[in-house]
Structure 1
Amino acid sequence: MYIIIPLLLIAGSLLGVTIIVRRKMPYLRKLSPEAHQVGDSILRDYFPELVAWFRSIKWHENRQAALRETEKFLRRMRLVFLKFDHLSERLIKKVRKVHLSSDFKAKTENVSLNKEVPAAPQGGTAPALETPESLKAREQELIIEISQDPKNASLYETLGDLYLKINSDIDAREAYEAALAIEPNNQIVARKYSSLLKKSTATTQ
């Protein structure tokens, strides 16, 4: 059954070609031998007007104008690519900012599931000895404060300093990047971030 359909299609095609050839045979017999000669170019045979128009153009006289137009076109293309580059850079920064905010939001949600954070000592004095438990508690405090005030760059900086104390360089880098996203001209955070990058590069090498 599946073979019959292709055979019918082939037979129909051959029949159609045969009918067309039989109808055109009287015209083909009337052609003179000169009409069967092929020209120098296929384009000239099929598109003589187009070839004649192309050859009528004075390329040497219009060379300077063509070069000027080409230069204008390239400059416009360069501007388009520069605009696209700036747009992509802005999108990358926005995506990066959303990514950092999502990370801190997830950490905040994890903190809310834990026990209540112990109150800080009165008078603003830090504990005499920083233990892993106290650093963890301070991290939770900072994350909660950041969730309440996400535009405070100093909180991100303090959190980055804390991560450096517990040797969590990746989290520290993200915290510094978040601080710089809010305050790009903060030289103190920029120096900390630069030294952290140098440390990471030296470690990987």
Structure 2
Amino acid sequence: MALDRERLPLPLSLRIGDGPFEIGLLFPDGRTRLRLRVNGIARSTARGIAIETTQVFTNCPGRLRRRTGPARPPLACGPTSSGESLTPDQQAWITAADTFFIATASDTGAADASHRGGDPGFVEVLSPTELMWPEYPGNSMLMTLGNLVLNPRAGALFLDERTGTTLQLTGTAHVLLTDGEPRVRFEITRVVQRGREQE
């Protein structure tokens, strides 16, 4: 599998010069509500990156919301703001979200990307540095939860589909059992928001 450098999101395009690395990709289709997951080893090429796949599989629609209407704008590649905690506006963004994406890795570093969705408010903002969300029943593969048990380091991506603005969070995530239902508590260590260039 090959990805063209010009079409890569900026954070990934900056990373590919570092040599071979584990990568997890998720391709959600909002029209059909299907998800394709691709995990493997990425290597830099003259045009972008080549991925030697180790896992390729689809997931059930789950809680992926159907998206209709105009095409989503490209991801923003303009100015960034960063910090170690969420601003009030970022907290409101997360509370209103019905979708986000989560990145995890196994104890050996095998990367994976997945999706989480629910009614707005399913992600609780406990504080400027803590989130919590329920783990709804899915395809019973439990890859994300299994990874978090072995390796709590994780990342979360919230996307403004109107503007392409992204909110990237990194930190540690811990699986909790409350009345037998799993929930994830995410402790934020870094916040990066990337917006659009002003026209």
TM bin (shorter chain): under 0.3
Task: Output the TM-score relative to the length of structure 1.
Answer: 0.24
Higher strand share: 2
Higher helix share: 1
Larger Rg: 1
State the structure with bigger RCO (CA 8 A, min sep 6), 1 or 2.
2
Task: Output the TM-score relative to the length of structure 2.
Answer: 0.25
